[in-house]
Amino acid sequence: MRSPDHYPFVPITERKPLRWPGGHRMVVIFTINCEFWPMTWDKEEPLYPGGPASIPHVLPGNVPDYANWTWREYGHRVGVWRLFEEFDRAGVPTGCTINALTALERPQIVTGADDRGWEILAHNWSQTDIMSSYAGKPDEEREVIARIVEVYQSVLGRKPRGWLSSSLRSTHETPHLLKEAGFDFMACYLNDDQPYLIHTDHGPIVSIPYSNEVNDFMIFMRRGNTTTEAFEVFKEQFDTLYAEGAESGRLMNLGLHPHVVGQPFRVRCVREFIDYAKQFPDVWWTTREEIAKWYLKNHESHIPSKKRRKGRTQTPAVQIKGRKKNKA
**111-131 confidence digits (pLDDT tens):** 999 999 999 999 999 998 999
User: Residue 140 — very low, low, confident or very high, per pLDDT cuts 50/70/90?
Assistant: very high
Amino acid 117: pLDDT: 97
For the residues 267-274, what does the mean pLDDT come to? 98
Calpha distance 186→183 (Å, rounded): 8
Q: Contact at 8 Å (CB) between 173 and 145? A: no
Residue 84 sits in a domain whose CATH number is 3.20.20.370
Q: Contact at 8 Å (CB) between 190 and 169? A: no
User: Residue 318 — very low, low, confident or very high, per pLDDT cuts 50/70/90?
Assistant: very low
Is residue 83 one of the residues assigned to a domain?
yes
Domain encompassing residue 61 = 30-311
Any idea what DSSP says for residue 184?
-
Amino acid 50: pLDDT: 53
Is residue 18 one of the residues assigned to a domain?
no
Amino acid 56: pLDDT: 75
pLDDT tens-digit series, residues 150-194 = 999 999 999 999 999 999 999 999 999 999 999 999 999 999 999
Lowest model confidence (mean pLDDT) among 48-52, 124-128, 204-208, 259-263: 48-52
Is residue 123 one of the residues assigned to a domain?
yes
Element (H or E) spanning 205, and its range? strand 203-207
Cα-Cα-Cα-Cα dihedral of 94, 99, 105, 106, to 10°?
-10
Rg of the Cα atoms in the chain = 20
Q: Contact at 8 Å (CB) between 258 and 268? A: no
Any idea what DSSP says for residue 312?
S
Is residue 11 one of the residues assigned to a domain?
no
User: Residue 137 — very low, low, confident or very high, per pLDDT cuts 50/70/90?
Assistant: very high
Domain total in the chain: 1
Is residue 248 one of the residues assigned to a domain?
yes
Across the chain, mean pLDDT equals: 90
Amino acid 8: pLDDT: 80
Any idea what DSSP says for residue 235?
H
What SS3 class is residue 270? helix
* Chain-centre distance for alpha carbon 13: 25
Report which residue type is found at 322: G
Calpha distance 141→117 (Å, rounded): 30
Is residue 16 one of the residues assigned to a domain?
no
Calpha distance 100→98 (Å, rounded): 6
Distances (CA, A) of 25 to 15, 202, 285: 16, 32, 11
Is residue 168 one of the residues assigned to a domain?
yes
Q: Contact at 8 Å (CB) between 222 and 232? A: no
* Number of helical H runs and strand E runs in the chain: 11, 9
Distances (CA, A) of 47 to 64, 65, 298: 10, 10, 43
CB atoms within 10 A of CB 14: 12
Residues facing 32 on adjacent strands: 96, 256
Is residue 24 one of the residues assigned to a domain?
no
